[in-house]
Amino acid sequence: MSRQIVLDTETTGLSPENGDRIIEVGCVELLNRKLTGRNLHLYINPERDSDEGALKVHGISNEFLRDKPKFAAIVDELLDYLSGAELIIHNAPFDIGFLNKELERLKRGRMSDHVSGVIDSLALAKEMFPGKRNSLDALCGRLEVDNSGRTLHGALLDAELLADVYINMTRGQDALGIDMASQSESDHRLSSAPALDLSTFALQPVVVSESELAAHEALLADLDKASKGKTVWRKHEPLAAAVA
């Protein structure tokens, strides 16, 4: 079973090396690319004030965070939740840098010690949409994900939006997946169905237009790009050409 966690953080500023800290973590769980509803949302007392620029981005006041638990108090809950999962993060180096710094302070290793891997959805988007804006808002608009409720950045809301964006960006993987249980039931029904004499059917040839062929090739190219060149049909194209 594939378990992925879409994760986002909000912070007091831009530099963990200069003492900026995490103030919010939002996580959304996917099992086999399906939302489970088992999410995690934590506010954290950063033990310092947010920069003015960061406050304008996330809108979480210093006063609001005063009585929230410190990172040391939530680290076990967070790591237990993330344990063994693959993380999906937009601009992953930023969030991972902050998380690694928090773990370093507590001598708890690095994120790579606790998760199976990290997918940077920003890097994926740049491969799929080169030369275009690939912020979360831009991707929501491009992929028709409703982000009308996003007036300020919030870790859980952004993680929920990113989950929808990621599923849309990689939808080709869904289309190529097979539900083995459903396939087994279908095979059983077919094997018990009465045989048909296909010689009685007159089949009409289907003529494909140039525009339809071009649209088909464009779709195959999108799927190939989303899978980073791992699509089966591309691997067999040289063989098919040789046979033809």
Q: 119 and 23, same structural domain?
A: yes
Whether 191 maps to a domain, the answer reads no
Whether 81 maps to a domain, the answer reads yes
Mean of pLDDT values over 205-229: 77
Burial of 234 (0-12, 13-18, 19+ CB in 10 A): middle
Q: Which residue has the higher pLDDT, 105 or 206?
A: 105
CATH of the domain at 170: 3.30.420.10
Catalytic residue among 58, 90, 114, 153: 153
Whether 222 maps to a domain, the answer reads yes
Domain-terminating residue out of 159, 174, 189 = 174
Whether the CB-CB separation of 147 and 140 falls below 8 Å is answered with yes
Mean of pLDDT values over 125-149: 94
Predicted local confidence at residue 194, as pLDDT: 61
Q: 224 and 169, same structural domain?
A: no
Q: 121 and 71, same structural domain?
A: yes
Whether 29 has a pLDDT exceeding 70, the answer reads yes
CA–CA distances in Å: residue 46 to residues 10, 58, 61, 106, 147: 11, 14, 12, 14, 28
Mean pLDDT of the chain: 86
Whether the CB-CB separation of 28 and 5 falls below 8 Å is answered with yes
Domain count, the chain: 2
Predicted local confidence at residue 180, as pLDDT: 43
Whether 148 maps to a domain, the answer reads yes
Give yes or no: 41 in active site: no
Whether 229 has a pLDDT exceeding 60, the answer reads yes
Predicted local confidence at residue 86, as pLDDT: 98
Predicted local confidence at residue 175, as pLDDT: 40
**Strand stretches in 90-202, DSSP E:** 117-120
What is the span of the domain harbouring residue 222? 209-244
Instruction: Tell me the pLDDT band of 223, cut-offs 50, 70 and 90.
Output: confident
Whether 185 has a pLDDT exceeding 70, the answer reads no
